[in-house]
Structure 1
Amino acid sequence: MRTKLLSAAVAACALLVAAPALAQGVKIGILNDQSGVYADYGGKYSFEAAKMAIEDFGGEVLGQKVEIISADHQNKPDLATSIARRWYEVENVDMITELTTSSVALAVQDLSKEKKKIDIVVGAATSRITGDACTPYGFHWSFDTHALAVGTGGALVKAGGDTWFFMTADYAFGYSLEKDTSEIVKENGGKVVGSVRIPLNSSDFSSFLLQAQSSKAKVIGLANAGLDTTNSIKQAAEFGIVKSGQKLAGLLMTLAEVHGLGLEAAQGLVLTEAFYWDQNDKTRAFSERFFKRTGRMPSMIHAGTYSSTLQYLKAVKAAGTKDSDAVVKKLKELPVDDAFAQGKVLENGRFVHDLYLFEVKKPSESKKPWDYYKQLAVVPGDKAFPAAKDSGCPLTK
């Protein structure tokens, strides 16, 4: 009798311990820049996209409610890490996604490894995320600097832009984008004649543009993003750089930046994106729903955040648990097929899918609101992203 009572007591205690974990449900965190240079690039719009994914999934998984929270990391790795630590240790967050800004993404991915929690990077670009800095719990979803270099860099060199000067954001993302694009330029017979590094969120680009102009390079590669890119382009117009014959390459531009510039200033720019709202019936249906909620069409960051959130929930369901190791396995097994893209996830956590080379339309070519792009080429996923064994990720060796 004593043995039976003791066993019953132990079982009851186990249930009491397990009950809070079940009651907690699944919790997802959107951590990005919501007030600074990348606020339109991702920001509150990425949060809305993630909410759409949760709603489309039904709002619960494994009989548990799916919760979502968000925070502004202000592009500060130390602040981002502090928020992520609190989320993991105190608020029981299971997965963090979006993670705009490469220095932030690398820092949070390192913490996620320590805590055995899943992070899915969407807004940050450095190819190191699934390269030398890869982790068992880290994923990279929408694009990276290697893919952008293959798309925009490769196309412009082949079109005659064989000398380059880089205006580079002075942090991990900028360095990675300059490095990857330089390699593609050289592989295609081009030459890099110089570069300059520029602090994040600069307001005056005049001295940097003068250096680029005096270099006589055929292409000025803007290895920056968000408001830094739009301000670079606006100020370049004041210097008459494009009119004098040099070409600007927006190496990371999205629909948000083109919209901010307007077609008059952005026309003729060549860029690479993983998503465009007006590509097909599926992208249009998703984008029109997004527009009704936000008043704007989604970029690859917003659509990518929708996809990363949805695929995580699919993996939890397939795993039958939210245990990170089990979910990681399913994330790498399940094909991805949604409004954002179709493809597969490699061993190093890289989601491989096609990207697209676009040219920004002239105002006279645009037939309706947000009709900004004409497609020049498809960049196949296996060309855009290196194979896992060639990525530099230690997990694949």
Structure 2
Amino acid sequence: MKKTGFLLTSFAALLTAASASAQDIPVKIGVLTDLSGVYADASGPGSVFAAELAVEDFTRQSPGLNVEVISADHQNKGDVASSIARRWLDDDVNAIVDIAASSTAFAVHELLRDSNALALFSSAASSGLTGEDCSPHSVHWTYDTWMLAHGTGRAVLEAGGDSWFFIAPDYTFGHTLVEQTSAVVQENGGEVLGSVSHPFPGQDFSSFILQAQASGAKVIGLANSGQDMINAVRQAREFGVTQGGQSIAAIMLNIHDVHSLGLEASQGLLFASVFDWNLNEGTREWSARFEEKMGTKPSMMQAGVYSAVLHYLKSVEATGTTDADTVVTNMKDTPTDDPLFGKGRIRADGRKIHDAYLFKVKEPSASEGPWDYFEVVSTIPADLAFRPIEDGGCPLAQ
């Protein structure tokens, strides 16, 4: 009996030590984002704060976990993003999050493929991140080009917009969005009359808008985002695009874009997204905390940073390690659940699955106050919102 008691006591001591060890593990999270460019409003400082909120909420329940958040501006340049990421890996950063712009995302995506750190993409859009070039160390969290193309493209088609001309930035995000939206248009009986690429970032869109007008397309599809999209919409209206019978489809639209453009210029736009601050009590409560600090409501990208960091920390705690392979396996095995996106899951290809929504921008008279811009037209169930896993070609899914 004495020996058994000793063994039980020793086993209990080992469990206690293991638990304490797990809590004492240092965790370093790097928010790599656009702090000063065209995506700064939708990601940028707000994404850094969203990561800090996730750490605050998690450590309130697990106060022993030692988490540090650092940040840097990748300036929307792939070489800058790679340089920062390499330095962070040398400095024992365990997860790099947000990573606005697909060009910078792919640079980090490849760098972390054989590292001991994870990339949690919230602001990058290209569905190629979970396609043939998928990585075992990447999770694509919030949205992607496939979701945008199918959600917005199909809605505009159903409203009668059966001929399109695209204006897109000349990099991966724009090319992919045009390709995937074109496929949706053509598969559903519409036609694509042309497309043009503009430098990224852009300022003067006049020549591109003139080409779109001359095409005679019913819909001018803007496959850009952030300040580029805002500038393009403003200049298109100055050219009288809508007065001439054409309509504008902003395939990628954020709440900050509408805030900048105003409801008068944005009203009636249909677009697909996965988040709005006013969806439910959980999103409203969290967004109020965000606004108190940042002075604005959060974008879906910033909400995605919070959700991704929270789930990552849960897996670090559950596994007692920051080892990338161990943590990402647990992240995929454990269903996701948080107040911003509800219940979801992470597929083998790294695509995080949750509901999406078709939104419509309200008329000014329908808005009940500041930031009340969107109404939900329909809910796109999680399993239909994103590309089927068998269609992506990711080796991890086979």
Instruction: Report the TM-score, using the length of structure 1 for normalisation.
Output: 0.92
SS of the counterpart of 2:165? Answer: strand
Q: Is the 8 A contact 1:150 1:184 kept in 2?
A: yes
Q: Is the 8 A contact 1:145 1:176 kept in 2?
A: yes
Amino acid at match of 2:68: E
Q: Which residue of 2 aligns with 1:349?
A: 350
Q: Is the 8 A contact 1:348 1:395 kept in 2?
A: yes
Q: Which residue of 2 aligns with 1:222?
A: 222
Q: Which residue of 2 aligns with 1:131?
A: 131
Q: Which residue of 1 aligns with 2:238?
A: 238
SS of the counterpart of 1:253? Answer: coil
Paired with 1:346 and 1:130, the residues of 2 have a C-alpha distance of 10
Task: Give CA-to-partner distance per residue, 1:94-130, whole Å, 9 cap, x none.
Answer: 0001000001101101001121311010101000001
Q: Which residue of 2 aligns with 1:204?
A: 204
Q: Which residue of 2 aligns with 1:189?
A: 189
Change (3 A) 1:324 1:310: same
Give the drift of 1:63: 3.5
Q: Which residue of 1 aligns with 2:331?
A: 331
Q: CA RMSD in A?
A: 1.6
Q: Which residue of 2 aligns with 1:51?
A: 52
Q: Is the 8 A contact 2:118 2:324 kept in 1?
A: yes
Instruction: Report the TM-score, using the length of structure 2 for normalisation.
Output: 0.92
Change (3 A) 1:174 1:326: same
Give the drift of 1:169: 0.8
Paired with 2:373 and 2:367, the residues of 1 have a C-alpha distance of 6
Amino acid at match of 1:108: V
Q: Which residue of 2 aligns with 1:72?
A: 73
Q: Which residue of 1 aligns with 2:154?
A: 154
Where do residues 220-369 of structure 1 align in structure 2 (5 Å cutoff)? 220-341=220-341, 342-369=343-370
Give the drift of 1:388: 2.1
Paired with 1:24 and 1:171, the residues of 2 have a C-alpha distance of 39
Paired with 2:178 and 2:127, the residues of 1 have a C-alpha distance of 11
Task: Give CA-to-partner distance per residue, 1:61-104, whole Å, 9 cap, x none.
Answer: 69331000000000000000000000011x21000010000011
Paired with 1:66 and 1:368, the residues of 2 have a C-alpha distance of 37
Task: Give CA-to-partner distance per residue, 1:166-199, whole Å, 9 cap, x none.
Answer: 0011000001111111111111111111000011
Paired with 2:37 and 2:60, the residues of 1 have a C-alpha distance of 30
Paired with 2:30 and 2:287, the residues of 1 have a C-alpha distance of 22
Task: Give CA-to-partner distance per residue, 1:223-274, whole Å, 9 cap, x none.
Answer: 1010000000000110111122111111111111111111111111111111
Amino acid at match of 2:165: F
Amino acid at match of 2:190: G
Q: Which residue of 1 aligns with 2:163?
A: 163
How many residues are matched?
Answer: 377
Give the drift of 1:332: 0.3
Paired with 2:256 and 2:301, the residues of 1 have a C-alpha distance of 10
Paired with 1:98 and 1:61, the residues of 2 have a C-alpha distance of 24
Change (3 A) 1:114 1:44: same
Amino acid at match of 1:348: D
Moved more, 261-270 or 78-87: 261-270
Paired with 1:370 and 1:64, the residues of 2 have a C-alpha distance of 36
Amino acid at match of 1:37: V
Q: Which residue of 1 aligns with 2:40?
A: 39
Give unmatched runs, 5+ long, in structure 1: 1-19
Give the drift of 1:22: 9.1
Q: Which residue of 2 aligns with 1:15?
A: none
Paired with 1:94 and 1:60, the residues of 2 have a C-alpha distance of 21
SS of the counterpart of 1:115? Answer: coil
Q: Which residue of 2 aligns with 1:174?
A: 174
Amino acid at match of 2:338: D
Identity %: 49
Amino acid at match of 2:337: D
Give the drift of 1:326: 0.8
Paired with 1:148 and 1:53, the residues of 2 have a C-alpha distance of 26
SS of the counterpart of 1:311? Answer: helix
Paired with 1:364 and 1:267, the residues of 2 have a C-alpha distance of 10
Paired with 1:360 and 1:353, the residues of 2 have a C-alpha distance of 22
Paired with 1:83 and 1:21, the residues of 2 have a C-alpha distance of 28
Change (3 A) 1:316 1:24: closer
Q: Is the 8 A contact 1:354 1:378 kept in 2?
A: yes
Paired with 1:23 and 1:383, the residues of 2 have a C-alpha distance of 41
Give the drift of 1:287: 0.7
Give the drift of 1:21: 12
Paired with 1:26 and 1:254, the residues of 2 have a C-alpha distance of 31
Amino acid at match of 1:378: T
Give unmatched runs, 5+ long, in structure 2: 1-20
Amino acid at match of 2:329: K
Runs of 4+ with >6 A deviation? 20-24
Q: Is the 8 A contact 1:205 1:235 kept in 2?
A: yes
Q: Is the 8 A contact 2:58 2:313 kept in 1?
A: yes
Asked whether 1:386 is paired with 2:373, we answer no
Amino acid at match of 1:83: I
SS of the counterpart of 1:243? Answer: helix
Q: Is the 8 A contact 1:62 1:321 kept in 2?
A: no
